[in-house]
Amino acid sequence: MGKGFFEVPIAVNEPVKTYAPGSPEREEVAKTYKEMFNSSVNVPLYINGEYIETGDTATMSPPHDHQHVLGTYHKAEKKHVEQAIATALEGRKKWSQMPWEQRAGIFLRAAELLAGPYRAKINAATMLGQSKTIHQAEIDAACELIDFLRFNVQFMTEIYAEQPESTSGAWNRLEYRPLEGFIYAITPFNFTAIAANLPASAALMGNVVVWKPSDSQVYSAKVILDVFNEAGVPPGVINMVMGDPVMITETVLASPDFSGLHFTGSTHVFKNIWQQIGTNIHNYKTYPRIVGETGGKDFIVAHKTSNPKQVATAIARGAFEFQGQKCSAASRCYISKSIWNEVEKYLQTDLESMTMGSPEDMSNFITAVIHEGSFDKLASYIDNAKSDANAEVIMGGTYDKSKGYFIEPTVIKTEDPNYTTMCDELFGPVVTIYVFDDDKWEETLHLVDETGEYALTGAVFSEDRYALEQGVKILENAAGNFYINDKPTGAVVGQQPFGGARASGTNDKAGSKLNLYRWISPRMIKETFVTPTDYRYPFLG
Ligand code: NAD
């Protein structure tokens, strides 16, 4: 920046539209959904600002209607990945020198495009490709993504403003350089906002990116690319490659210029990539930054003083919204014995009222899980729970993949706090309940802390402040996002920075400044005004 200390617009959270019957936004998204459902899209690779058709294609289908084809996408060969890396490094020459206000302008424009002309399209794409209801799509693909873009621009300027003290004889300046090399962004299927934010946050800080979206999110990834293009992200800055994740990752990690991984997805995939990076460490020009937000086994623990209706609502929303396919979804619940009967009654009533089907019918609360692999995995956990002596399916438990991958919201009850569904991440609409004796509150908190490998989100319910305080203390390391008397999902950018530790990630808190710090490498510049000319200090006499 040469000619002004510019201030960016103050970031505010994008208001969530209601999509109530008769509202204009509901009509628009319904129309867009139909148009997109009835047309076919072709998604090539995107390298150096050009679309590349490789001819090696796969089809995309709605999870709720798997025989319908939405379009095709192209898969990369090794040479395309190498081309993406080369083009990113070439693009870096200009992008890393671009003044920050120009980068800010591009991503602020992307936010406004999403808030306006692209809103219905990105929502419809997320409903079609990832089976989100309109409410879930609006919160994710529109609002959260808009928030990421607006808030990150503000956070970037706050970071740039952090400068060291200077004395009268010298001027100390911190320059926040992008990393030397390129960033590799690997994104999951379950959040359109995360898919866009992982490449965009690094690019905003002046980095260039090779982005590999999930095979199950390519449909909305294409809309993200269209928005970035129209907003003015220059060629070479964000390059998108799809295809075999192992080949793509090995090719990327073999480059000496690989300088950072921005990953969100499952724990075992991230650990394997970390290991590969370690194996290659002697080849890299710089120590790569490794950021990964991974799995969760998120808890609700309810004290005997908590309100049963509130607890049941938190389970219904926390476990079943988006079919439980949120890293933060409540999936193990510890309920005090004296309130369990009431919680069960309310939960049963809630589940009976939940309708399941296509997101096109906006009265549905439950839609399909993402793909057949996920469906089969969930069905087998449910079958096991039906036959295992130490578990019981007390609600739901049916599934059907004839048209879409539908799993009925399912509640398992167990008397074994280490039963498999109390420990494994299932990533579906299945929640397990463990009922504990009223006088075992403290013991149960330790049990919650010590069960499983994850530490992403968790919630404590109680009307007793001492009990809450015990929960806050004993569960200090059990969750990176901790909720008191609320469901453990629904973090908002700028309000609840998100991420967990242990096997849940590096806890670099997406939606805050902390994440952006990972994509910069500061240079300290000291300028001395009157430079010494004699080596002797006064004490030498
Ligand atoms: P996934 O691990 O199957 O896939 C994530 C990405 O990794 C995809 O792009 C996929 O193609 C790629 N991938 C898969 N195998 C790979 C390999 N061997 N080498 C390199 N890349 C590979 O996860 P998913 O099913 O897309 O998403 C669900 C997971 O993501 C859950 O575990 C969930 O908890 C986690 N998640 C975490 C957060 C968070 O903030 N902590 C947010 C969203 C999702």
Residue tagged 């993504």 (tokens): 145
Strand, helix or coil at 460?
strand
Atom in ligand 1 nearest the alpha carbon of residue 186: 9
Q: In what order do the strands lie in the sheet with 258-264?
A: 50-52, 45-47, 238-240, 209-212, 182-186, 258-264, 289-293
CB of 189 sitting under 6 A from ligand 1: yes
Q: Whose CA is nearest to atom 40 of ligand 1?
A: 293
Dihedral angle sign, alpha carbons of residues 438, 444, 445, 446: positive
CB 184 within 8 A of CB 252: yes
DSSP assignment of 490-537 equals: ---TTTS-B--EETTB----BTSHHHHHTTEEEEEEEEESS-------
Q: How many angstroms does the Cα of residue 11 sit away from the middle of ligand 1?
A: 29
Q: Whose CA is nearest to atom 35 of ligand 1?
A: 265
CB of 191 sitting under 6 A from ligand 1: yes
Q: How many angstroms does the Cα of residue 504 sit away from the middle of ligand 1?
A: 12
Atom in ligand 1 nearest the alpha carbon of residue 248: 20
Tokens found for residue 533: 């000319």
Would you kindly state where each structural domain of the chain is located, as residue ranges? 24-294+505-525, 298-484
How confident is the model over 194-214, as a mean pLDDT?
A: 98
Burial class (CB in 10 A: 0-12, 13-18, 19+), 439: exposed
Asked about 423 being catalytic, the answer comes back as: no
Our measurement of the distance from residue 200's CA atom to the centroid of its chain's CA atoms, rounded to an integer in Å, reads: 13
Q: Whose CA is nearest to atom 23 of ligand 1?
A: 265
Q: Which listed residue (138, 144, 293, 321) is catalytic? A: 293
CB of 296 sitting under 6 A from ligand 1: yes
CA distance 493 to 255: 33
Q: Whose CA is nearest to atom 9 of ligand 1?
A: 214
CB of 507 sitting under 6 A from ligand 1: no
Of the candidates 301, 339, 315, the one whose C-alpha atom is nearest the C-alpha of residue 442 is: 301
Of the candidates 291, 234, 237, 233, the one whose C-alpha atom is nearest the C-alpha of residue 259 is: 291
Beta-carbon-side half-sphere exposure of residue 179 (alpha carbons within 13 Å):
28
pLDDT for residue 99: 97
Asked about 293 being catalytic, the answer comes back as: yes
Q: How many angstroms does the Cα of residue 89 sit away from the middle of ligand 1?
A: 26
Q: pLDDT-derived band of residue 2, with 50, 70 and 90 as boundaries? A: confident
Q: Which listed residue (143, 327, 344, 360) is catalytic? A: 327
Residue tagged 């919160």 (tokens): 139
Q: pLDDT-derived band of residue 279, with 50, 70 and 90 as boundaries? A: very high
Dihedral angle sign, alpha carbons of residues 469, 473, 475, 481: positive
Burial class (CB in 10 A: 0-12, 13-18, 19+), 107: buried
Atom in ligand 1 nearest the alpha carbon of residue 327: 34
Instruction: Indicate the fold that domain 24-294+505-525 takes in CATH.
Output: Aldehyde Dehydrogenase; Chain A, domain 1 (3.40.605)
Q: Whose CA is nearest to atom 30 of ligand 1?
A: 265
Q: Whose CA is nearest to atom 16 of ligand 1?
A: 245
Average pLDDT, the chain: 98
pLDDT for residue 507: 98
Q: How many angstroms does the Cα of residue 266 sit away from the middle of ligand 1?
A: 4
pLDDT for residue 541: 84
Beta bridge partners of 522: 176
Backbone dihedral angles phi then psi of residue 180, each to the nearest 5 degrees: -85, 115
Tens-digit pLDDT profile for residues 111-170? 999 999 999 999 999 999 999 999 999 999 999 999 999 999 999 999 999 999 999 999
Stated as kind and residue range, the H or E segment containing 51 is strand 50-52
Percent of the chain residues past pLDDT 90, beyond the cut: 99
Burial class (CB in 10 A: 0-12, 13-18, 19+), 3: exposed
Of the candidates 240, 187, 216, the one whose C-alpha atom is nearest the C-alpha of residue 70 is: 216
Burial class (CB in 10 A: 0-12, 13-18, 19+), 292: buried
Strand, helix or coil at 461?
strand
Q: How many angstroms does the Cα of residue 24 sit away from the middle of ligand 1?
A: 35
Q: How many angstroms does the Cα of residue 267 sit away from the middle of ligand 1?
A: 8
Q: How many angstroms does the Cα of residue 488 sit away from the middle of ligand 1?
A: 20
pLDDT for residue 531: 97
Stated as kind and residue range, the H or E segment containing 178 is strand 170-178
Q: What b/e sequence results for 336-374 when a residue is b if at least 16 CB atoms lie within 10 Å of its CB, and e otherwise? A: beebbeebbebbeebbeeeebbbbbebebbbbbbbbeeb
How confident is the model over 105-110, as a mean pLDDT?
A: 98
CB of 293 sitting under 6 A from ligand 1: yes
CB of 321 sitting under 6 A from ligand 1: no
Rg over CA atoms, the chain: 25
Tens-digit pLDDT profile for residues 394-439? 999 999 999 999 999 999 999 999 999 999 999 999 999 999 999 9
Residue 1 has pLDDT above 90, yes or no: no
Instruction: Indicate the fold that domain 298-484 takes in CATH.
Output: Aldehyde Dehydrogenase; Chain A, domain 2 (3.40.309)
CB of 214 sitting under 6 A from ligand 1: yes
Q: Where are the beta strands (DSSP E) in 312-396?
A: 330-336, 391-395
CB of 190 sitting under 6 A from ligand 1: yes
CB of 295 sitting under 6 A from ligand 1: yes
CB of 456 sitting under 6 A from ligand 1: yes
CB of 425 sitting under 6 A from ligand 1: yes
CA distance 149 to 106: 10
Q: How many angstroms does the Cα of residue 205 sit away from the middle of ligand 1?
A: 24
Residue 82 has pLDDT above 60, yes or no: yes
How confident is the model over 460-470, as a mean pLDDT?
A: 98
CA distance 331 to 409: 12
